[in-house]
Amino acid sequence: MRVSAKADYAVRAAAELAASPDGPVKGERLADSQDIPLQFLEHILLDLKHSGIVRARRGAKGGYWLAKPADEVSIADVIRAVEGPIAHVQSAPPESITYTGSAQELQNVWIAVRASLRDVLESTSLEDLVTGNLPDNVRELADDKDAWLPR
Amino acid sequence: MRVSAKADYAVRAAAELAASPDGPVKGERLADSQDIPLQFLEHILLDLKHSGIVRARRGAKGGYWLAKPADEVSIADVIRAVEGPIAHVQSAPPESITYTGSAQELQNVWIAVRASLRDVLESTSLEDLVTGNLPDNVRELADDKDAWLPR
DNA sequence: GATTTCGCGATCAAATCGGTCAGCAGAATC
DNA sequence: GATTCTGCTGACCGATTTGATCGCGAAATC
């Protein structure tokens, strides 16, 4: 249940792209501005490219840019591009697992977990992220004081 | 963002305990009924014991039982006992991370992610799980047809 | 054709994951 | 009090994942 460095980096790089007016942005600039190891970032950007979130051109004047408008790319899209499915249990999707005995209802819980993650990550676009205009449901969750307490 | 085998096992074993009328349940029976490797399960049960969720007695007539009523133990408690904090980003709690530039709002998103996970896992008790009587918010999420679709 | 920048596979050290082994420590039974 | 049962615990293990780095090829620009 943790967010990997890779996913975190990916979202930050994508945000940086979303905030840059069109035209290619060099990998190095992304790495600098978000303090991400350049060579690692390049692999991440490659993943993003493979899943159609980003485009790239080489050579001088080359760089990366978003393949779609920033309001059509969700944070979930970005995470999936680098990490695969968002909420797997034992490496299998929750809808494919069945439990026996007293744990029978557990599948519903994992489904609910995935749904609640999606509610946040799917509804927040890169544009929401860079403008600070988070969707109401997300803002509500983040504004709850208890949400900031560790456990 | 995945649920480990350990966490899955832990919840299932705890559910089995919650469903068993008091009196110690042997590790072997838990392992059998939930199809978990016994020796691995014993480590898990030890974690649960160390965090005060379970008690145990050795020897003949020994076994494990819940230290508290099943409606006072949440699934979140169980997961935390074996996996540590529920939603860390790069191994750090989201409230301790600060982002710069275009990613400044990202912290709020991670906080919201954690909050939404808590909404599900904290509100569901072992009793809810074994009776199938899931909290309304959880049931609502699980009943959504879209929640069952892979992505 | 020189330079710049991405593309991508190979490699790597360290950590994590899922699990087994073996031996010790209490509790019950005889 | 000896035996048996069952949990307690640390050591260990192979495989995978994580978080990178290196090196070289391929495109684009000048």
Decide: helix, strand or coil at residue A142: helix
Q: Which of A128, A25, A39 is nearest to A77 (CA)?
A: A128
**Strand C close to A21 by CB, under 7 A:** no
Q: Which amino acid is at A95?
A: E
Which domains does chain B show, CATH number per domain? 5-148 (1.10.10.10)
Please spell the DSSP secondary structure of A27-80, one letter per residue. HHHHHHHHT--HHHHHHHHHHHHHTTSEEEE-STT-EEEESS-GGG-BHHHHHH
How distant is C1' of C12 from CA of A63, in Å?
Answer: 28
Query: pLDDT tens digits for chain B (151 residues)?
Result: 999 999 999 999 999 999 999 899 999 999 999 999 999 999 999 999 999 999 999 999 999 999 999 999 999 999 999 999 999 999 999 999 999 999 999 999 999 999 999 999 999 999 999 999 999 999 999 999 999 999 9
Q: What is the tens place of the pLDDT at every residue in A93-138?
A: 999 999 999 999 999 999 999 999 999 999 999 999 999 999 999 9
Q: For chains A and B, what is the number of CB pairs under 8 angstroms?
A: 211
| Residue at minimum CA to C1' distance from nucleotide D22 | A39
| Residue at minimum CA to C1' distance from nucleotide C21 | B39
Q: Which chain A residues have a beta carbon less than 8 Å from that of B149? A: 95
Q: Give the torsion sign (CA, A37, A39, A42, A43).
A: negative
Answer whether B10's CB lies under 8 Å from B47's CB. yes
Do the Cβ atoms of A109 and B142 come within 8 Å? yes
Long-range pairs, A34-43, Cβ under 8 A, ≥24: A34/A9, A34/B100, A34/B101, A34/B103, A35/B100, A36/A9, A36/A12, A40/A6, A40/A9, A41/A9, A41/A13
